[in-house]
Amino acid sequence: MTTTSTASSTARLRPEVVRISNVSKRFTVRKDSSLKERIVTLGRAGRAHKQDFWALSDVSLDIRAGNTIGLIGHNGSGKSTLLKVIGGIIQPTSGSVEQRGRIAALLELGAGFHPDLTGRENVFLNASVLGLSAEETAAQFDAILEFSGVGEFIDTQIKFYSSGMYVRLAFAIAVHTDPDILLVDEVLAVGDEQFQRKCLDKIREFQSEGRTIIIVSHALDQIAALCDRVILLNRGQMAYDGIPVTAIERFRELLANNAVGQARPDEISTAMAIQGIEILGADGSERHTLSVGESFVMRVRVKSYLPVSEWAIGFSIDTEMGQMALASNTDLLELQLAPLDGQTSVDIAVDGAQLSAGRYVVNANVSGISVSASHSLMQGAQFTVEGRQVTIGPVAASIRVVEN
């Protein structure tokens, strides 16, 4: 089977649920701060008191079912704007966004709530906005109430709620609307530790069910723990798209050097590219089936469109449901790759990985260090692990029980 047919069959494994094509979003920012200033400048120098701000600039990406995507970047980088564009809350100035499935969005504290209505009334109002009928909401109401923990305050006007009660009720509604795609913007930072654990447990439950989750957060440890793919944004442009550990490293390095987003968009998208991924056995033959614990090699084919003296490569192996089972990169391995000018292939040997029986997909990312470049190939290859096992979960092991 050729690499092309492998990638094609992998694409059928998990369909696209979000497709963003060349999306840009412009906001107009006024410099005059008072009504008097606006009246004075109107008709004379009004244009001089307006400034266009591009929150997103030519962003393109595809998201597949079962992925958990993290959006990171400094304040004003376009993370929340991108999330709102995906959710259909705001429309892009140019480009297109296609979604598939029911979307539940937790974007702003109390968004979709009416302050003069009670919590009970807002449950039905907010759930209807998210696509549930009154009958469906009534069937889920007890579960929503129990999850939110607002208790007897459910019949109190929510303008008297604390910020924690707001977000608990909003999150409870969103996760009980049976969403295919869940959008989360920083709201997990609100609420007590017990509720945050409950939210994280629910997200992991969604991951195990193969739902798609897109998270905006400044909590990088949370992003690393939850996400199998991370997108770094700066000044409305994609600066990196790949595995979490490398994305977070790039973010910290670039922030430290004051160099986030200095590359031109064409350098980011065209300087380097991953052309394919192959799975090889110990004898060098292409493999699509492995045994539990069998060693294998991931051959990643890379092309550069200009000379690159320093660069890095990373990979992740995901389960069929989108859960990351294994990931690493040349930075973690403390390896320096030879300069690249043209085409090459990198063999990544994996020894002793106790992957449990099941189907897996391979993602890879290449990024420039001497030049600003980043390219990811998501689900570039797939393989199946076969064999009897006595454990449950993505990691297989030999188990001994000793009776004392």
* pLDDT of residue 59 exceeding 80: yes
Would you give the distance in Å from CA 180 to the centre of its chain?
Answer: 14
Q: Which residues pair with 53 in a beta bridge?
A: 27
* pLDDT of residue 1 exceeding 50: no
CB distance 227 to 69 below 8 Å? yes
* pLDDT of residue 378 exceeding 70: yes
Higher pLDDT, 27 or 24: 24
Helix (H) or strand (E) holding 37: helix 35-41
How confident is the model over 210-261, as pLDDT tens digits? 899 999 987 787 888 888 899 999 888 888 888 888 888 778 766 665 443 3
Of 246, 206, 251, 250, the C-alpha closest to 226 is 206
Q: Which residues pair with 106 in a beta bridge?
A: 184
Residues 6+ apart with CB under 8 A from 370: 308, 309, 310, 311
User: pLDDT at position 50, please?
Assistant: 63
Render 48-108 in DSSP notation, one character per residue: GGEEEEEEEEEEEEEEETT-EEEEE-STTSSHHHHHHHHTTSS--SEEEEEE-S-EEEE-S
pLDDT band at 29 (very low <50, low <70, confident <90, very high): low
* Mean pLDDT taken over the chain: 80
Strands laid side by side in the 103-106 sheet: 103-106, 181-185, 212-216, 68-72, 229-234, 237-242
pLDDT band at 19 (very low <50, low <70, confident <90, very high): very high
Cα separation, 97 vs 112, in Å, equals 22
Q: What's the DSSP call for residue 337?
A: P
How confident is the model over 308-359, as pLDDT tens digits? 898 889 888 888 766 778 888 887 888 889 999 999 999 999 988 888 888 8
Q: What mean pLDDT is predicted for residues 155-180?
A: 86
Would you give the distance in Å from CA 102 to the centre of its chain?
Answer: 17
Domains located in the chain, CATH noted:
16-233 (3.40.50.300), 263-386 (2.70.50.60)
User: pLDDT at position 356, please?
Assistant: 84
How confident is the model over 89-139, as pLDDT tens digits? 889 999 999 988 888 887 765 566 888 899 999 999 888 887 788 999 999
Render 294-309 in DSSP notation, one character per residue: --EEEEEEEEESS-BS
Cα separation, 206 vs 27, in Å, equals 34
pLDDT band at 39 (very low <50, low <70, confident <90, very high): very low
User: pLDDT at position 46, please?
Assistant: 47
User: pLDDT at position 305, please?
Assistant: 87
